[in-house]
Amino acid sequence: SYSKPESEILLGFKASLANNDALLSWNSSTTPCSGDKENWVGVLCDNGNVWGLKLENMGLSGVIDVEVIKELPGLRTISLMNNNFDGSIPSLKKLGALKSVYLSNNKFSGEIESNAFDGMQSLKKIHLANNQFKGLIPLSLTILPKLIEVSLAGNHFNGEIPDFKIGILKSINVSNNELEGQIPQSLSKMSMYSFSGNGNLCGAPLTSCSSSTSKKLPVVMIAVLAVSVLAALAAILAVVILLRRRHHTPLSVEARPTVRGHKKAASADLDREEQGSSVHSTTSKKGENNSGKLTFLRDTAERFDLGDLLKASAEVLGSGYFGSSYKAALVTGKMMVVKRFRHMNNVGREEFQEHMRRLGRLGHTNLLPLVAFYYRKEEKLLVSEYVNNVSLAVHLHGNRSRGHPSPDWPTRLKIIKGVAKGLQYLYNELPSLIIPHGHLKSSNVLLNESFEPLLTDYGLVPVVNQEHAQEVMVAYKSPEHKQNGRVTKKTDVWSFGILILETLTGKFPTNYLQQGKGSDTDLVTWVNSMVREGSTGEVFDKDMGATKNSEGEMMKLLKIGMACAEVDVEKRCDLKEAIEKIEEVKEKDNDEEFYSSYTSEGDVKSSRGLSDDFSYSLS
C-alpha cells in the first residue's frame, strides 16, 4: 500500500506548529534523512528513516499533531523539551511504539486521563517535569512493562502516589508536586529527593507515617488538642511581639537544616530601618547606622531591598560549606539568589567593601555578575541573579532525577571553553590575586538556557578567613597546598583540570572532599591509570553520546585536563597554555556526521553497535 513520504509527514507536522522558525531546514527541497545523515534539524535518522525527533529549545508552540506523526513508522523517541507548548498533553498512546518521551519544561496543563498511556508496551522513559499538569498520576503509567524512568517533578499532581507494579523502574521523580499520603512500598528504595517538596508524603524513603491512632482520636480530644495548640501559639506570638518592641530584631534568615532542593520558607525578621531605603552608596560613610542596607554594585541593577528578598518565602537552593543559598522572587518576578557567607572577616569593613566593588566592576559573558551585598560583622550576604539551567554539577551528577538527558559532547566542550574564557578574564582583571577564582568546581559553574557557563563564587579568597578558606575552598585542596601549604598562580589551573576531567568522565571528583572522606583513588589517579592501561574508551562518560568522529577530540581535551590537574606544579601547564590548547579542540575531527546524544538514551538501533538495553548506572 502507498505510504506517505516522511518528508511530507514532517512538513505536515511542522505546519501545525506555531513559531516554527527554528525549522527552516525542514523544506521540500531536501529529504529529512540521507541514510544515517540528518538533513533536517532535530530529525534523527537511521538508515534513511526517521526514528526520532529532538526539537528542544526552539521556542516552539502550537499544536502537536499526533495524527500526522503517527504515520512515521520508525518513530521511537520524541523530545520537545524546553519549548512553549501549552494545553493538554498530546495523545501519546496513538504513538504506541515510542520508547521515550520528553516533554519537560513546557507549559502543558490540565489533568492527564487515567488511561493516557494504555498500550504503550515499549515505553521506557517519560519526562513531563516542570509543566502545569494537575490531578492524579495516571494509573496506566504504573503498569507499563518496560518503564524504567519517570519524571513528573515540578507539576501540580495531587492525591496519592499509585503503586508502580513493575519492578524494573529505576528512577522516579515526583518532587515539587502536591502529593500526599503514604509512598508505596514499591518505591521505598528510591532516593528521598525524588519525593521532596510535596505537601504531605510519608513512608520510606521519607519519615515513616505516623501511626493511625490520630485518625481514631475521639472528636473531643481533637478539639481539646486544637484549643491548647492555639493557646500556645497565641502565647508565643505575644512573647515575640513583646520582645520585638523592646529590641531591634536583627536580620535573621532562618536556615533550618534541609535537604537540597527542598522548598522551605526562609523567613526574615527585619528592622524597621532596614525595610526602609534600599540603596546605599558604598562611598558614603555613614557608619554603623547604614549597616543594614544592601549595597548595590551596578547602576543598571533593578533596585530592591533586603526585605523584598527575604520577606517572601524563598527556596533553599542548597547549603554549601559557607552557608546556604536562597532563591527569592522580586515583585517583578525576577529571581535572585542570596548566598549567606559566614567566616568572611579576613578584612575589615572598608576593605571588604572595596573588594566587593572591585568584584562588582567585573563583567564578562562567563561570569555571574555580583549585584549587591550586605555587610554585617557576623555574616555577609551576596546577591546575584538566579541562573535557571542549574549548575554543571547537577547536569553531570544529578541529571536523571531532574528529567533531563545529560549534556552531549558538543555541549560539554562549549561549557569548558566558556569556563576557560571566564578564568582568563579573572586572571587578567585581578592580577594581584594569586588565585583569582579560588573556588572553581562544578556547582559553581552555572548554566544558562543555551548552556553558556557562568562562573560564580569567584574572587573571594582575600575576604574569607584564612583558616576557613583552607578548610573549604577548592584551591586549598590542591596537591601543592596539601604538600607544603602553598598556593600558586597555577592552583586555579589545577581546579580547572579537575573540572575538565569531571566533565568528561561524569564522575564526581573526590579530590574536593576532605581527606579520608572520599574513596581511595581520586579522579586524577583513576584517569591516569586508565590512560596508562590503554582503557581510554572507558574513561569517557557514556552519556556524552557515542560519536564516530569526536573521540580524537575528546582525547585531546582529556589530555589537557590531565596536564592541568598535574600534581607537580612545575610540570603543570599554565592557564595561557591550557586555554590555547582548549581553543583548538573541535566537536569532531572531520565533517562527517556527529551522532546525537540520543545514542546514550538506549533508543538507538543495535546496528550502531550499541545495545538497545538501557544502561543506567552512573558508576
Ligand X SMILES: Nc1ncnc2c1ncn2[C@@H]1O[C@H](COP(=O)(O)OP(=O)(O)OP(=O)(O)O)[C@@H](O)[C@H]1O
The residues of the shown chain that bind ligand X, judged by CB under 6 A, are 317-318, 320-322, 325, 337, 339, 368, 384, 386-387, 391, 439, 443-444, 446, 456-457
Query: Nearest approach, Cβ of 280 to ligand X (angstroms)?
Result: 22
| Min separation Cβ 386 and ligand X, Å | 4
Residue with Cβ nearer ligand X (79 or 391): 391
Strand partners for 446: 391, 454
CA-only gyration radius of the chain, Å: 27
Q: Which is nearer to ligand X, 322 or 526 (CB)?
A: 322
3-state secondary structure 2-40: CCCCHHHHHHHHHHHEECHHHHCCCCCCCCCEECCEECC
Q: Least distance from C-beta 524 to ligand X, angstroms?
A: 20
C-beta closer to ligand X: residue 456 or 505: 456
The single residue listed with the C-alpha cell 499509585 is: 162
Q: How far is the CB of 37 from ligand X (least distance, A)?
A: 38
CB 98 within 8 A of CB 76: yes
* Shorter beta-carbon distance to ligand X: residue 443 or 491: 443
Least distance to ligand X, CB of residue 498, Å: 14
Q: For residue 359, what is the enclosing H or E element? A: helix 349-360
Residues forming a β-bridge with 296: 372
Residue 454 is inside which H or E element, if any? strand 453-455
Task: Report residue 139: phi and psi, to 5°.
Answer: -65, -30
Q: How far is the CB of 502 from ligand X (least distance, A)?
A: 14
Q: Among all residues, whose Cβ is closest to ligand X? A: 320
- How does DSSP classify residue 135? E
To the nearest whole angstrom, how small is the minimum distance from the Cβ of residue 367 to ligand X?
A: 12
- Nearer CB in complex with ligand X: 17/447: 447
Distance, in Å, from the CA atom of 596 to the CA atom of 610, rounded to the nearest integer, reads 13
- Torsion over CA of 130, 133, 135 and 138, rounded to 10 degrees? -90
Looking at beta carbons only, is 318 or 497 nearer to ligand X?
A: 318
State the nearest-atom distance from the C-beta of 368 to ligand X, in Å: 6
Give dist(CA 476, CA 596) in Å, integer. Answer: 38
Spatial CB neighbours of 45, under 8 Å, sequence gap ≥ 6: 32, 33, 34, 35, 36, 37, 38, 51
| Smaller CB separation from ligand X, 84 or 258 | 258
Residue closer to ligand X, measured from CB, 162 or 360: 360
Return the C-alpha cell found at 81. Answer: 523539551
Length of the chain: 619
